[in-house]
Amino acid sequence: MLLSGKRLLVTGVLSESSIAYAAAKLAVEQGAEVVLTGFGRGLRITRRVAEKLNPDCPVLEMDVTAPGHLEAVASDLEQRWGAVDGILHAIAFAPPSALDGGFLTAGWPEVSTALEVSTYSFAAMGRVFGPLLAAAGGGSLIGLDFDATKAWPGYDWMGVAKAGLESACRYLAHALGPQGTRVNLVAAGPLRTVAATAIGAFGGFERSWEERAPLGWDVRDTTAVGRTVCALWSDWLPGVTGSVIHVDGGAHAVGSGRLPEALAEAS
């Protein structure tokens, strides 16, 4: 059992197609004890999905933009377990005006929301839950990413937020490393999750992966990403921190497949 005895906190379970659900399901199967979080109208949905796990998992309310929510969850987990071995930050949001061509027109209120929810919350979780991870001997904090080395049409301010997330990962790895905490991101290929439905350009991502992924890529299968999260939670990667692990069929390593016209003529 890869995760026997591990105590894990998982955010972002909104449906059975969620990456977070795949990670939580595999973790439970591998012997972990899991607590989920949800908030607002989605809390009821998270609780319903949690019942599909075997055994089902407790669900705590946690809105990363609400004062005191993180601290309240940390207090609950301290009383419940005394320590936390692993956390999955599967939290991202950008208002519609900050996506699908809104890069130059979105105002600061919309942009600040995207950055607070998608980027700052990762650092905030590291700060608040850091002592619980330290109490477990260090533990593993993982976030979900989408390749931020490129400008993806339609991704706009969420792409900027993900670039910030990658930088925050490195700084958190530096800050929490002395206590033994590993901090990493898993950059998944495009998957048909609830979050993906908010991006009108998602179909273009699918076509890009069909052309470039050497291993192929199934936008409906979250298993590979869930397994990678579980591997990072485990004790088998003790020297890995501050890294972005690409789980995308290899698409990040391959060009578009089309040579620029001038280069094609020269070749």
Per residue, the 3-state secondary structure of the chain, as one string, reads CCCCCCEEEECCCCCCCCHHHHHHHHHHHCCCEEEEEECCCHHHHHHHHHCCCCCCCCEEECCCCCCCHHHHHHHHHHHHCCCCCEEEECCCCCCHHHCCCCCCCCCHHHHHHHHHHHHHHHHHHHHHHHHHHHHCCCCEEEEEECCCCCCCCCCHHHHHHHHHHHHHHHHHHHHHHHHCCEEEEEEECCCCCCHHHHCCCHHHHHHHHHHHCCCCCCCCCCHHHHHHHHHHHCCCCCCCCCEEEEECCCHHHCCCCCCCHHHHHHC
pTM of the model: 0.93
Q: What is the pLDDT of residue 51?
A: 94
pLDDT for 261 beyond 80: no
**Fold (CATH) for 7-266:** Rossmann fold (3.40.50)
21 an active-site residue? no
pLDDT of residue 194: 64
Q: Which of 6, 150, 162, 171 is catalytic?
A: 162
Return the CA Rg of the chain.
18
Residue 199's pLDDT band (cuts 50, 70, 90): low
| 155 included as an active-site residue | yes
pLDDT for 53 beyond 50: yes
Q: Of the residues 6, 21, 25, 155, which is catalytic?
A: 155
Whether pLDDT at 179 is above 70: yes
